[in-house]
A and B are shown apart, each in its own frame.
Chain A
Amino acid sequence: MSVTVARQRQSTHAFWRRAAAGPSPGKSILAVLLCTAGMLIFPYAVSEYQVLVAISFLTFAIVTVSQVLVWGFGGILSFAQAAFFALGAYGYAVIAGNLDETTGPVIALVAAPLVVMVFAGFLGFFIFYGRMGAFLLGIVTLSVSLMLGAFLNQTGDASYHIGKVQLGGYNGINAIPPLLVEGTPASTQVLYFLTAAVLLAGVAGVALFRFHRVGVGIRAIAENPVRAELFGYNVRAYRLSIFMAGAALAAAGGEFYAIWGSYTSPSLVTMQAVTLPVVVAAVAGRDRPIAAMLAALVYSAISVNLASSGASYALIILGVGLVVVMLVAPGGVGGWVAALVNRLVIRIGTRSAESPHTAASQDDVVELGSTPGSGA
């Protein structure tokens, strides 16, 4: 009988080990549901002003999730996500500013990401069909983003306009038309829930995309494009597509930023703004969208608080924090936390299985001849 108990313990261990190991759709959905619950409760637990500030955090989280999609899954080190964010904001401002105030914002909401996606397709065409290595890709996207900033900064003259909307140089575009809900500008709460919905949909989409056939293809291409090509995958087409999808997502974040603040400016594409999504994604774990979302929210909260309390030292503390985090948690915090959670799950799961009364149950007896648990 003791052999049977031992075998059963082994297979239970194996079960929990397997359950804990590796990402799964179930785990992702659970995590997203938990985050959704948190975001639903949040506005009722804090002041309206804090909800307002939180909206900008959500927009940054959207960009960071787009970074994970393009970098963590697609293997493309893109420094252009912030640029797409900025283009989404500017795009919304230009489109909404040129149309009437009731339907304009809604059209702009849909159109801006599409326009940015097309632009990303154009840029991506040169990048991916030019056979660039990863490092150069990073540099090229970095240059493009800085270029965008340089360009926007010098558009102060009135001759720089698209339709009725002036680009505004380093001041940017102000008085962006708000989103109207039944004739009045959307309230903080409505805007919060809308932005959160987009963020959660995005993060769920990215997290589950990993398991879809196309997602598997992308991940394989990211790891070994030559080998993927030998399985018949059109590597360039896949990369271009995911680059465009990431751009559209980042642009969605940008347009909510424009609605939130009623303004947009070239400060969205400074060197720092451009490297930030990459850095936050790396800290969280570049292929962990949910962790990246949370990391982005935490980072935003910290930097805003630091800025208000001790402006001069804020960025120094941040820089030090980044260094420390990476030294302590190799591969990102997300993996570190996940490993911790896994160990806990295994420990709790196997401990409950070892309690005496479970061994007596007929259902738990494992046949002697079967192979022992062969989990990971």
Chain B
Amino acid sequence: MMATQSATGSRGLAAPLAVNNLTVAFDEFRALDDLSLDIPAGSCLGLIGPNGAGKSTLFRAILGLVPMAAGTIELDGQPITGLSTTRRVRRGIGTTLQSGGVFLELTVRESLVLAARRASRKWDIAGALETHQLAELADVSVTELSHGHQQRLELAMAEVSSPRLLLLDEPVAGMGPMETQAMVQSIQAVNQAGPTVVFIDHDLAFVRALAQEIAVMHQGRLITQGTPDEISADPEIMSIYFGAAEGHATAGATEAAAQETGTPQ
């Protein structure tokens, strides 16, 4: 999967990402091993794989938080390999983290003002609050929010920072089925209005519901890439995650649960 002309330039608001032969190593341990990945502008890609597969490391490499032993990364056709984190972020990469992604000292409103930076006048902060159902909590200190609310806030902050590529690291971790379903719709709305989205999660029903494409990683390598249907029909993938026999049954059960508890919007 070499980088080809599929990095055909951005859709303005969304940028394509090309990862070419990326290797990230810590002493002898290869967290990422000659990984190549192509993400077209505006798409929504789910990244799955067992713990230790290198998913978060890939995000960190894209953001410039870990040194790369080999390979290049291109955003919107431009290499970003040598750039500092701040520069890369300013080129339009937004991210949410597994933990520690919000600022407890600020209020909800202040968090959005922070994320919008100079565009904080342009961005309709009030509108963003409404869209993400945070309007009533606008002046509440973030430290008082529930975990689910904090994650929603983090997504709102990421959106308001006007990224062209959005990296979401386990955006629904710890959320119940209703909240998860609401997040699917929020993220889809964000993706349709703007950036390319790449997200990591372990909740396979969530991944199936949200992703247009899924990439599977294992031990620092990309195993396969395909549509959600293709992936969940592949027994080898299922056996990487679960045991072979349980694979189908479990995936089916979580999916059914999600369909039953879907909330009207």
Contacts of B113 in A (CB 8 A): 213, 216
* Contact of B141 with A229 in the complex, beta carbons under 8 Å: no
Within 8 A of B (CB), among A211-226: 211, 213, 216-217, 219-220, 222-224
- Asked if A22 is at the interface (CB within 8 A of a chain B CB), the reply is yes
- Asked if A103 is at the interface (CB within 8 A of a chain B CB), the reply is no
Contacts of A224 in B (CB 8 A): 100, 103
Q: How far is the CA of A371 from the CA of B157 in the complex (A)?
A: 25
Contacts of A374 in B (CB 8 A): 136-137
- Asked if B68 is at the interface (CB within 8 A of a chain A CB), the reply is no
Q: How far is the CA of A18 from the CA of B141 in the complex (A)?
A: 11
Contacts of A232 in B (CB 8 A): 86, 89-90, 117, 161
Nearest CB of A to B96, in Å: 9
- Asked if A230 is at the interface (CB within 8 A of a chain B CB), the reply is yes
Nearest CB of B to A73, in Å: 10
* Contact of A376 with B141 in the complex, beta carbons under 8 Å: yes
- CB contact between B140 and one of A220, A227, A376 (< 8 Å): that residue: A376
Chain B, residue nearest A373 (CB):
B136
* Contact of B114 with A227 in the complex, beta carbons under 8 Å: no
Q: How far is the CA of A213 from the CA of B122 in the complex (A)?
A: 13
Q: How far is the CA of A228 from the CA of B97 in the complex (A)?
A: 12
* Contact of A220 with B141 in the complex, beta carbons under 8 Å: no
- Asked if B83 is at the interface (CB within 8 A of a chain A CB), the reply is no
* Contact of A22 with B104 in the complex, beta carbons under 8 Å: no
- Asked if B106 is at the interface (CB within 8 A of a chain A CB), the reply is yes
B 95-113 to A, binary, CB cutoff 8 A, 1 in contact else 0: 1010011011111001001
Chain A, residue nearest B140 (CB):
A376
- Asked if A119 is at the interface (CB within 8 A of a chain B CB), the reply is no
- Asked if A231 is at the interface (CB within 8 A of a chain B CB), the reply is yes
Chain A, residue nearest B95 (CB):
A230
* Contact of B139 with A231 in the complex, beta carbons under 8 Å: no
A 2-21 to B, binary, CB cutoff 8 A, 1 in contact else 0: 00000000000000001001
Q: How far is the CA of A79 from the CA of B57 in the complex (A)?
A: 39
Contacts of A230 in B (CB 8 A): 63, 85, 89, 95, 97
* Contact of A22 with B161 in the complex, beta carbons under 8 Å: no
* Contact of A227 with B105 in the complex, beta carbons under 8 Å: no
Nearest CB of A to B141, in Å: 6
Among A18, A219, A222, chain B packs the most CB atoms within 10 A around the CB of A219
Contacts of A234 in B (CB 8 A): 86
A 279-290 to B, binary, CB cutoff 8 A, 1 in contact else 0: 000000000000
- Asked if B120 is at the interface (CB within 8 A of a chain A CB), the reply is yes
* Contact of A220 with B103 in the complex, beta carbons under 8 Å: yes
Nearest CB of B to A16, in Å: 14
Nearest CB of A to B194, in Å: 16
Within 8 A of B (CB), among A138-180: none
Q: How far is the CA of A224 from the CA of B97 in the complex (A)?
A: 13
Nearest CB of B to A222, in Å: 8
* Contact of A233 with B136 in the complex, beta carbons under 8 Å: no
Nearest CB of B to A367, in Å: 16
* Contact of A22 with B139 in the complex, beta carbons under 8 Å: yes
Nearest CB of B to A74, in Å: 12
Contacts of A222 in B (CB 8 A): 105
Q: How far is the CA of A375 from the CA of B137 in the complex (A)?
A: 8
Chain B, residue nearest A287 (CB):
B105
Nearest CB of B to A45, in Å: 39
Q: How far is the CA of A224 from the CA of B161 in the complex (A)?
A: 17
Q: How far is the CA of A18 from the CA of B157 in the complex (A)?
A: 23
Known: A231-B161, A232-B90. A223 touches B117 (CB 8 A): no
- CB contact between B104 and one of A211, A223, A371 (< 8 Å): that residue: A223
* Contact of B85 with A216 in the complex, beta carbons under 8 Å: no
Nearest CB of B to A370, in Å: 11
- Asked if B130 is at the interface (CB within 8 A of a chain A CB), the reply is no
- Asked if B115 is at the interface (CB within 8 A of a chain A CB), the reply is yes
* Contact of B136 with A227 in the complex, beta carbons under 8 Å: no
Q: How far is the CA of A222 from the CA of B103 in the complex (A)?
A: 10
- Asked if B144 is at the interface (CB within 8 A of a chain A CB), the reply is yes
Q: How far is the CA of A40 from the CA of B103 in the complex (A)?
A: 39
Known: A216-B110, A223-B105, A224-B100. A231 touches B115 (CB 8 A): yes
Among A216, A224, A233, A235, chain B packs the most CB atoms within 10 A around the CB of A216
Nearest CB of B to A337, in Å: 19
Contacts of A21 in B (CB 8 A): 141
Chain B, residue nearest A75 (CB):
B105
Nearest CB of A to B231, in Å: 29
Apart from A22-B107, A217-B114, A222-B105, what 14 extra A-B contacts exist at CB < 8 Å?
A216-B113, A219-B106, A223-B104, A223-B105, A224-B100, A227-B97, A227-B100, A228-B114, A230-B63, A231-B89, A235-B86, A374-B136, A374-B137, A376-B144
What are 23 A-to-B residue pairs whose CB atoms are below 8 Å?
A21-B141, A22-B107, A213-B113, A213-B120, A219-B106, A220-B106, A223-B104, A223-B105, A227-B97, A227-B100, A229-B86, A229-B89, A230-B63, A230-B95, A231-B89, A231-B114, A231-B117, A231-B161, A232-B86, A235-B86, A374-B137, A376-B140, A376-B144
A-B residue pairs, 8 tightest by C-beta = A232-B89, A220-B103, A223-B105, A216-B110, A374-B136, A232-B90, A216-B114, A220-B114
